[in-house]
Chain A
Amino acid sequence: MNLDNFKNTWQQQNSLNESAITINQSLLSETKVNTQMKELNNMKWARIIESVVFFFIIVLLGQYIAKNVSVSAPVISALILAVFAIIGLAGNIGQIVHISNIDYAKPISQLQKDIYRLCSHKLQLTKLLLMSAPFYMAYVFIGFDVLFEIDLFAHLEQHIVWFYSVSSLLLLIVTTYVLAKLNYTNIKAPWVKRTVAFIVGERLVTMAQFINNIDSTGS
């Protein structure tokens, strides 16, 4: 028997299928929210709280820059960190918009990509943190200036500056490679799969595999 022969048998089962399911219509019509909606709502609140945190970081860094306007290492560091905070805030606002646009009546590939985008938020935050790793000295320079009022950079010897510059460059190369690879399109690579599963969980791996599958042209 082939698939086309099965079609008739399948469709003949419709009345049996209908009798196998009973729905409590009055309970259903009282439903205001379900698990997925609750999950989306929780996500929305988490993103709002994160946005507030990013906003405060931006304000604090802005105040710091305004107070110490100069071309010094701490001020440039504050500027760099402010840029990362702005990226974080923009990402969060984008997520809130995405959550509001979730529509289960959308074509499957589109909705699954939307849900993947929402569920990968933790991965994006980790990526943002990783992106700032090559600029790790920015945290140190600001820390010294805020805590001890010392411009550490001015006291560094030339070979130490070179060491930090080279290590930052190496980190930049490594993080750029890692960040480019940490994408659903590379989920087949075992280390990408393991990293994504470690950061976000198995669910995102499954979703990434699904989207990859749907994106493939069937070749």
Chain B
Amino acid sequence: MNTNKKALFAQTMDQHKGIVYKIVNSYCQNQDDRQDLAQEILTTMWLAYDNYNKDYKFSTWMYRIALNVAISYYRKDSKREDKANANEQCIVHIADFSAQDDKSEDVKQLYEFIGKLDKLNKAIMLLYLEDEPHQSIAKSLGISKTNVATRIGRIKETLKNQFEKQGA
């Protein structure tokens, strides 16, 4: 990959790295896993960047790759001591979500809610919160627009019920 491309990737990544943060915090429960998954997402994107088609929005391409990596992410022993990571040089550093005080209560609740969803609904929810149209969500997931609408409707209902329960 030439220097121009490297620089372009670095610049674009810098603008969209928040996506990685949202995905790892939605898909992983502990900090080690978040760190590990973030590294896997970034390296996968870097290795796939040569095939990036500029006809598509970078954020859409990035979401697709990041979600695919997150969904297929599997750690045999999530409790293992992170010996491998300790020896590897750290490509990415993610701030510990639980230690961040600048997150609003709404956002914390939202992450908690997303954390309880299954892998597919997590992906739908993340894309929905990014204001992606149903058609685009359907295309990224490879499912029908109707299916997306149905699932979003159900997620909304679950969220409403959860808030009602909390309020009661």
Residues on A close to B: CB < 8 A? 1-3, 6-7, 9-11, 13-18, 20-25, 27-29, 31-37, 103-112, 115, 203, 206-207, 210, 213-214, 217-218
B51 touches A103 (CB 8 A): yes
Q: Within the assembled complex, what's the spacing in Å between the Cα atoms of A20 and B93?
A: 8
How many chain B residues touch A (Cβ–Cβ < 8 Å)?
A: 72
Given A3-B159, A31-B43, A10 contacting B10 (CB threshold 8 A):
no
B40 touches A20 (CB 8 A): no
B90 contact from A3, A24, A36, A203, Cβ within 8 A: A24
Number of A-B contacts (CB under 8 A): 167
Given A3-B159, A17-B22, A107 contacting B93 (CB threshold 8 A):
no
| Chain A residues whose C-beta falls within 8 Å of the C-beta of B129 in the assembled complex | 3, 6-7, 10-11
Secondary structure of the A contact surface, majority rule: helix
A23 contact from B91, B95, B100, B123, Cβ within 8 A: B91
What residue of chain B has the Cβ atom nearest to residue A219's Cβ?
B150
A218 touches B141 (CB 8 A): no
| Chain A residues whose C-beta falls within 8 Å of the C-beta of B92 in the assembled complex | 21-24, 28
Top 6 A-B pairs ranked by shortest CB distance?
A: A107-B142, A17-B18, A109-B142, A34-B43, A218-B150, A20-B95
Q: Would you call B87 an interface residue if the criterion is a C-beta within 8 Å of the partner chain's C-beta atoms? A: no
Given A18-B17, A28-B43, A37-B47, A6 contacting B93 (CB threshold 8 A):
no
Given A25-B10, A105-B51, A107-B64, A16 contacting B103 (CB threshold 8 A):
yes
B140 touches A35 (CB 8 A): no
A218 contact from B21, B89, B147, Cβ within 8 A: B147
| Chain B residues whose C-beta falls within 8 Å of the C-beta of A28 in the assembled complex | 42-43, 46, 91-92
| Chain B residues whose C-beta falls within 8 Å of the C-beta of A115 in the assembled complex | 72
Given A6-B129, A25-B10, A27-B91, A108 contacting B21 (CB threshold 8 A):
no
